Amino acid sequence: MRDRELRCLTEFTDFLAHEWVPFVRRNYNVSSKAAETAVGGYSLGGLAAAFASLKQPETFGLALAQSGSFWFEPTGADNAEPNWLAREFIRAPKLPLRFYIEAGIYEVDLQGRGGNILETSRDFRNVLLAKGYKVDYREFPGDHDYLTWRGTFADALVSLFGTGSK
């Protein structure tokens, strides 16, 4: 299921925005403002988070992508150009979104097709910056692993939600 739902599936994004978030807001003391609501994930979850912010900006104003799978391309064709989501952001008008994106310096393309985590994360960051988005982009000395993401998750939350008191 994870491989299907996290590959920029509109139905999953709609479920998050129209069922899951309203449930959380009804049952917990959380903000109802998109600018204070984050969606995040690692690997395909990071891709899905960025996609959710694009498709549901009225719900998700903050996107967190740890080692996002921005190499994704929905047709799955062998010669398909990676970073389909970057092209979707190019086509869309600028939205009220902020991003935290990170990638490991060892998450590189060993096949020479430009389609792994590090290269496509840099490309995605560059597209967002060119469109005028606020992006906190970081590279860590690691690979595609839970231990690193666990260690940088707090940095991502501080980046998106800040450290000051209200």
For residue 112, the model assigns a pLDDT of: 64
pLDDT category at 1 given cuts 50, 70, 90 is: low
Q: Averaged over 66-94, what is the pLDDT?
A: 90
Residue 5: predicted pLDDT: 73
* Domain chopping of the chain, boundaries: 2-161
**Could you read off the pLDDT of 8-24 as tens digits, one per residue?**
999 999 999 999 999 99
pLDDT of residue 166: 52
pLDDT of residue 79: 72
The Cα 18–Cα 24 span in angstroms is 11
Q: What is the mean pLDDT of residues 60-89?
A: 90
What own/partner pairs with CB < 8 Å and gap ≥ 24 does 47-50 have? Answer: 47/6, 47/7, 47/8, 47/72, 47/85, 48/5, 48/6, 48/7, 48/8, 48/9, 48/12, 48/13, 50/85, 50/99, 50/101, 50/124
Does the pLDDT of residue 25 top 60, yes or no? yes
Global pTM? Answer: 0.92
For domain 2-161, the question of CATH label 3.40.50.620 is answered with no
For residue 164, what pLDDT band results from cuts at 50, 70 and 90?
Answer: low
Q: Max Cα separation, the chain?
A: 50
**pLDDT by residue (tens digit) across 100-115?**
999 999 988 766 665 6
Which residue reads 């690193």 in tokens?
Answer: 148
Distance CA 150, CA 153 (A): 5
36-45, 59-68, 103-112: segment of lowest average pLDDT: 103-112
* Stretch (H or E) spanning 24: helix 21-27
d(CA 109, CA 149): 20
Q: What is the residue-averaged pLDDT of the chain?
A: 91
Three-state secondary structure readout of 33-54: CHHHCEEEEECHHHHHHHHHHH
